[in-house]
Amino acid sequence: MKLTRNLWPLGIIAAFVFLFSGIATVITIAATHRETLVSENYYENELKFQTQIDGAARAKEAGAKLTYDAAGGRILITVPVAQLAQKFSGTINLYRPSSSALDREFLLEPGKEGTQTLNVSALAAGPWRVRAAWKSGGQDYFLELKFVVSK
């Protein structure tokens, strides 16, 4: 008489081994995955978004401009000269969406004619955002420009 071997128990054990090894792999990947937000205070920035919208409307109305010159590798920021006579303070942020380690921040210090130039030729190639925010006469102003540095 020929005995046949039942393979069901072996198949069930193999399925559980594959299942547990898959779960262990997923847990290992999840535990070693670096979790970073692009901005440390991302959620606070999102709450301030309406302020940025209002500031952008005021900046456009006042005639402020933000331009990128790819050939010269520079950013030109122009603010109305009348705002410089009032209490004026501001910052310029160069924001890299893919890596917060590449972000840069500068003071917004336009000259007498209301312009400031930033040399960005040394920035890493890829997409960038420049954000200029300032206060003048008790009002907030905001400009943002997306640009791509190509090498």
pLDDT band at 133 (very low <50, low <70, confident <90, very high): very high
- CA-to-CA dists, residue 51 to 42, 54, 104, angstroms: 15, 5, 22
Q: CB under 8 Å to 145, separation ≥6 — which residues?
A: 66, 67, 68, 75, 129, 130
Q: Is the Cβ–Cβ distance between 80 and 62 less than 8 Å?
A: yes
The whole-chain average pLDDT of the chain stands at 88
For residues 26-40, average pLDDT? 79
Look at residue 141 and tell me whether its pLDDT is greater than 70.
Answer: yes
Question: pTM of the prediction?
Answer: 0.69
| Number of residues that make up the chain | 151
* Most confidently modeled range among 16-25, 38-47, 70-79: 16-25
Q: CB-side exposure of 4: number of CA atoms within 13 Å?
A: 3
Q: Is the Cβ–Cβ distance between 131 and 144 less than 8 Å?
A: yes
pLDDT tens-digit series, residues 105-130: 999 999 889 999 999 888 999 999 99
pLDDT tens-digit series, residues 64-104: 999 999 888 999 999 998 888 888 899 999 998 888 888 89
pLDDT band at 43 (very low <50, low <70, confident <90, very high): confident
Q: Of 3-12, 29-38, 50-59, 128-137, where does mean pLDDT reach its minimum?
A: 29-38
Q: Look at residue 36 in the predicted model and tell me its pLDDT.
A: 66
Look at residue 38 and tell me whether its pLDDT is greater than 90.
Answer: no
